[in-house]
Structure 1
Amino acid sequence: MIYKNGKLLDEKPYLNDNFIYEVIRSEDGVYLFLEDHMKRLYGNLEKANKTELFDKIKGLMSDFKPERNVESVMIMVDGEDVFMEDMKIREVTDFERKNGVNIGLYEFERLNPERKIYRKNFKKEVQEIMDRNDLFELLLYNGNEVLEGSRSNFYYIKDGKIFEPTKKKTLPGVVKKNFYKMCEEKLSLEVEERELSLDELQNIDGALLSGTGMDVVPVKSINGRELSGKDYELSIELAQKFREYIDGYKKEFKEKEIL
């Protein structure tokens, strides 16, 4: 279902290609990391000189109730209109969480990493490639430099250390922020920033993806090359630890509601 300014629409509306949007995952009636998502959305609106919509969005969010146990809610701002759509997401299976997902490569550069802007043709092409090759995600690269996933942040593990490509060239992610926090506060692990070339990618044996719809998932293969060894095993462990972190967030959120 999709709503325009709080009213249910009979059909999906036509939106400009460059509308501003935010996707928030809901589990068991709890919006995960809601404060971080709204802060990012408001920041993008501020850059587009649309601060007058803050209160409107806040009011619409308080009235919007997800229908399923696990789904995503997409907030879209096109001109002065605010659209909200509840979307059933492609859930990560238990097998994928325990073993990892398969990803491919796609040459691309995000025009503005600081702003989350919808690009319909890009998303359509990426989805077609993933469907055709039975891939969970495509890893973007520009020239010889690895950037991020088409809908996710990308991390690689080398000799037990966790790295992410240069932050300035990748989208600031809400799940990424909380993954950093979990690693540092719960596991005493630091996620370092370091560029990664396509050549170096061939020697990586541990990798992770993070994103709103998937939270944190391990990678099993990159462009057909299977990962293995201690770094791969660490990726599985980190993904499991993040699920525990989410369970803790949901419990804390519900306790606050009771109080």
Structure 2
Amino acid sequence: MFVLLNDEFVNRNECLIDIEDRANQFGDGVYEVIRVYDGEFFLLHDHLKRLIYSLEEAKINYDIHHHNLADQLQKLVEMNNFKDGGIYLQISRGASPRSHPFPKHTQPTLIAYPIPVTRPLESQEKGIEAILHEDLRWLRCDIKSLNLLGNVMAKQSALDAGAKEAILYRDYNHVTEGSSTNVFIVKDGVVKTHPANHYILNGITRLYLFYLAELLNIPIVEEVYSIEELKNADEVFISSTTSEVISVIKIDDVQINNGKPGPIAQKFLQAFFKHKNIKHLSK
């Protein structure tokens, strides 16, 4: 496997990172996972736009255009003859003697490499179960940072309970998102999802569903909703780069839509690949 390390392509066993890289000691960095279908990136422009946002918000001085990152990632796909899966990339603030303040003279460290991702066809066909879990993460979830311990612990709680996802809430009246997904509810034909603010990550697949909703004439609104609304929804579904669209058919002990994937989620899923050649969702 070839790995992109800063501006060089190296074999995986040659990808050496300093032990004092701030990604290791502080989670001081940001990342993206970009889907590849049939050798082509899906919504690369939008992922890189979000990467720029995360870098700016984290005050990491890395210019993706100066480094020709889009071209480098395309070359990475070609060098690995990579047809289907994901490209993981992260940019840390760089290596420096351990100290909390930003180092003054360090260079950011970039790593990118292919990861195996397969379509979750069984989950899409049958739906999944989820649990409710208190959202104990920091309040800058809009930054796609390497600080994922809260997400990891919530996801593991779901798996320990025999479920696939944890749906997070700040209080009874404030459901936010999943541990690694965005969450949507449907009531009376209207789709509702949390506003894109600092409480959630503005998922690229989330944005793609807004694009599809307009094409499909499905009403969709950004609005905070409660646990009661979640449990009484006609449908619940999640989205992410790796999940695409998956219905949630049970939350804790409450069955959703009689334990079957809902029709609106299925409409999104059926339309998902009809428009996947779109180059970008925003300027």
Structure 2 CA distance for partners of 1:232 and 1:194, relative to 1, 3 Å: farther
Q: Aligned runs of 1:52-201 on 2, under 5 Å?
A: 52-56=63-67, 57-65=69-77, 67-79=81-93, 80-89=108-117, 91-93=119-121, 95-108=122-135, 109-144=137-172, 145-168=174-197, 169-184=199-214, 186-201=215-230
Report the Cα distance in structure 1 between the residues aligned to 2:118 and 2:253, rounded to whole angstroms: 22
Q: CA deviation at 1:233?
A: 2.7
Runs of 5+ consecutive residues of structure 2 not aligned to the other structure: 94-107
| Aligned CA-pair RMSD | 2.5
* Contact 1:208–1:219 under 8 Å retained in 2: yes
CA distance, structure 2, for counterparts of residue 63 and residue 42 of structure 1: 20
- Residue 97 of structure 2 corresponds to none
More displaced, 212-221 or 195-204?
A: 195-204
In the alignment, is the contact (CA less than 8 A) between 1:207 and 1:235 conserved in 2? no
Matched residues in 1 for 2:48 and 2:265: separation? Answer: 30
Change (3 A) 1:120 1:161: closer
Separation (CA, whole Å) in 1 of partners of 2:176 and 2:184: 10
1:7-22 alignment, distance < 5 Å: 7-10=10-13, 13=17, 15-16=23-24, 17-22=27-32
Would the alpha carbon gap of residues 121 and 55 (structure 1) be closer, same or farther in structure 2, given more than 3 Å must change? Answer: same
Given that residues 212 and 268 in structure 2 are in contact (C-alpha distance below 8 angstroms), is that contact kept between their aligned partners in structure 1? no
Change in 2 beyond 3 A, CA 1:37/1:216:
same
What per-residue deviation string (whole Å, max 9, x for no partner) do you get for residues 120-175 of structure 1? 42243234223322322111111211101111111100111111123323211111
CA contact (8 A) 1:139 1:150 kept: yes
- Residue 21 of structure 1 contacts residue 74 of structure 1 at CA under 8 Å; is this kept in 2? yes
TM-score for the superposition, normalised by structure 2: 0.78
Cα offset for 1:90?
5.4
Q: Deviations over 1:36-64 (max 9, x none)?
A: 11111122223324243433223421321
The separation in 2 between residues aligned to 1:194 and 1:53, in whole angstroms, is 33
Deviations 1:211-233 (A, max 9, x none): 1111122111112322116x953
Across the two proteins, how many residue pairs are aligned to each other?
248
- Structure 1 runs of 4+ off > 6 angstroms? none
Q: Which residue of 1 aligns with 2:5?
A: 4
AA at the equivalent of 1:174: I
Contact 2:230 2:236 in 1 (8 A): no
- Secondary structure, in 3 states, of the residue corresponding to 1:151? coil
Aligned twin of 1:246: 273
Larger Rg: 2
Q: Does 1:218 align with 2:230?
A: no
SS in 1 for 2:119: coil
Percent of aligned pairs with the same amino acid: 20
Name the SS for the 1:62 alignment partner.
helix
Query: Structure 1: how far apart are the matches of 2:51 and 2:164?
Result: 26
**Cα distance in 1 between the residues matched to 2:253 and 2:12:** 43
Q: CA deviation at 1:107?
A: 0.8
* TM-score, scaled to structure 1: 0.84
Q: Which amino acid aligns with 1:101?
A: I
**Where does residue 33 of structure 2 map in the other structure?**
23
Query: Which structure carries more helix by proportion?
Result: 1
| Unaligned ranges ≥5, structure 1 | 254-259
The AA in structure 1 aligned to 2:192 is F
